[in-house]
Amino acid sequence: MKIGIVSECFDPTLNGVTVSIHAFEDILEKNNEIYILAPETSGFTDTQSNIFRYPSSTLFGPKDYPIAFPIFAPSITKRAKALGLDIIHAQHSLGMLSAMGRHLADDLDIPIVHTYHTLLEEYVHWKIGSPIGKWFVKRRSTDFCNQCDQIVTPSEAMKKIILGYGVKTPIETIPTGIDLSEFQNPFSRDELFQQWGVPKGKKLLLYLSRVAKEKNLDFLLEVIKRLVKSRNDFHLILVGGGKELPIYQKKVSQMGLDHAITFTDKQEKEKANRFFGAADIFVFPSTSETQGIVISEAMAAGMPAVAVNKMGPSNIIKDQVDGYLCDLNLDQFIGRIESLLNDDNLRLKLGAAARENAKEYSKEASASKMEKLYERTIANYHCS
């Protein structure tokens, strides 16, 4: 098959969508031709010849999320049309590249698949007011889904949500797979101390994701604030960047938590992976993750996770078997962390189960499901 991946973000931006694209591409390209249509990023040059970059601008958003303007590059779309694609796979429901992908599928008379990666309404920060913004996002994303031939969600929780929006297109759940071998070379405690000043001799909690309000980080900071009142045998490492990083660094200082928390800023994927397994417990307060890939990555490194029982994490963690799922309740979240801090045998037992259960999320297993979905969608499209 010749597969066209259309995405509003790609390298060098590191997020769940980019990770997902690479995870599927690594396996699918062995038997198929993969082409990626994405925004160009100033100062970044691709090493692969299968990537088509569209002119973009960062005037309307964060610098690491350039917005593509395909209308200014019809020659690139013309080249894409000449590839003889069999199917389009759109990674977003909003954006000009996504709309272009929809039209490209129509022009080529081929099916389009869409993965609903993100709970978009949770990320709306429009000045016109969140109720209006949320309504608009739901309406536009639902319309886009209903113009596609097949929808993929990374979790059952997300599938239920978009069914509630009114999506009528068939939906299949396929989690983003991970490369299990990437999480077996953790940093040593000496390396963490030398590079980031992480104190030795303490149990380490790890948060690895973007530093942003929508990740519910204020909840996590309150957890740490309460924990330090009764114990000093732990330290939190916050791995991630984002425009709100300075805001949270200031908050930590104002809360008097500098001694208990280390920020590392954004790390390249290979380096970020080495934090998994270097710590003892993965903590994840987000309530809007469609899958929570980082949780399966932590599990692959043998780390038990403590997460809020919402969305993606609820489909990955087996509560009290390989980690803990909590209500959005400070006392409960703190209690689960303390149970792991206090009992090494329990922590190791849950960590071993996590490593074993992470095999369900290997990229080979997920890519096989996606390949079969493509084949089925193409066959159904041409039979209808």
CATH number of the domain at 180-361, please?
A: 3.40.50.2000
- Phi and psi at residue 114, to the nearest 5°: -130, 130
Q: Residue 122's pLDDT is what?
A: 65
Q: Residue 128's pLDDT is what?
A: 46
3-state secondary structure 43-72: CCCCCCCCEEEECEECCCCCCCCCEECHHH
Tell me the residue length of the chain: 384
Sign of CA dihedral 156, 157, 160, 161: negative
* pTM listed for this prediction: 0.81
| Strand-pair category, 67-68 with 56-57 | antiparallel
Helix 363-383 with 16-28: angle, nearest 10 deg: 80
Torsion of CA 150, 152, 153, 155, to 10 degrees: 120
The pLDDT profile of the chain, 384 residues, written as one tens digit per residue, is: 999 999 999 999 878 899 889 989 999 999 999 999 999 998 899 989 999 999 999 887 777 789 999 999 999 999 999 999 999 999 999 999 999 999 999 999 999 999 998 877 766 654 445 677 788 888 999 999 999 999 999 988 889 999 999 999 999 999 989 999 999 999 999 999 999 999 999 999 999 999 999 899 999 999 999 999 999 999 999 999 989 999 999 999 999 999 999 999 999 889 999 999 999 999 999 988 878 889 999 999 999 999 999 888 998 999 999 999 999 999 999 999 999 999 999 999 999 999 999 999 999 999 999 999 999 999 999 997
- Given a contact cutoff of 8 angstroms between Cβ atoms, the answer to whether 157 and 278 are in contact is no
Question: What is residue 87's three-state secondary structure?
Answer: strand
Nearest to 27 by CA among 376, 368, 296, 293: 368
Q: How many other β-carbons are positioned within 10 Å of the β-carbon of residue 101?
A: 29
**DSSP characters over 110-144:** --EEEE--S-GGGG---TT-HHHHHHHHHHHHHHH
Q: Residue 269's pLDDT is what?
A: 87
- Phi and psi at residue 243, to the nearest 5°: -65, -20
H/E stretch holding 101 = helix 96-108
- Given a contact cutoff of 8 angstroms between Cβ atoms, the answer to whether 104 and 89 are in contact is no
Nearest to 123 by CA among 111, 110, 108, 133: 133
Question: What is residue 319's three-state secondary structure?
Answer: strand
- Given a contact cutoff of 8 angstroms between Cβ atoms, the answer to whether 67 and 41 are in contact is no
Token pair listed for 43: 């100062």
Token pair listed for 118: 């993100």
- Phi and psi at residue 172, to the nearest 5°: -130, 140
Q: Residue 291's pLDDT is what?
A: 80
| Residue boundaries of the structural domains of the chain | 2-177+362-383, 180-361
Q: Residue 311's pLDDT is what?
A: 84
- Structurally, at CATH architecture level, domain 2-177+362-383 sits in 3-Layer(aba) Sandwich (3.40)
Beta strands (DSSP E) in the chain are 2-6, 33-39, 51-54, 56-57, 67-68, 87-90, 112-115, 150-153, 171-173, 203-208, 234-239, 261-265, 281-284, 305-308, 323-326
Tell me the β-bridge partners of 56: 68
In whole angstroms, give the CA distance from residue 289 to residue 154: 10
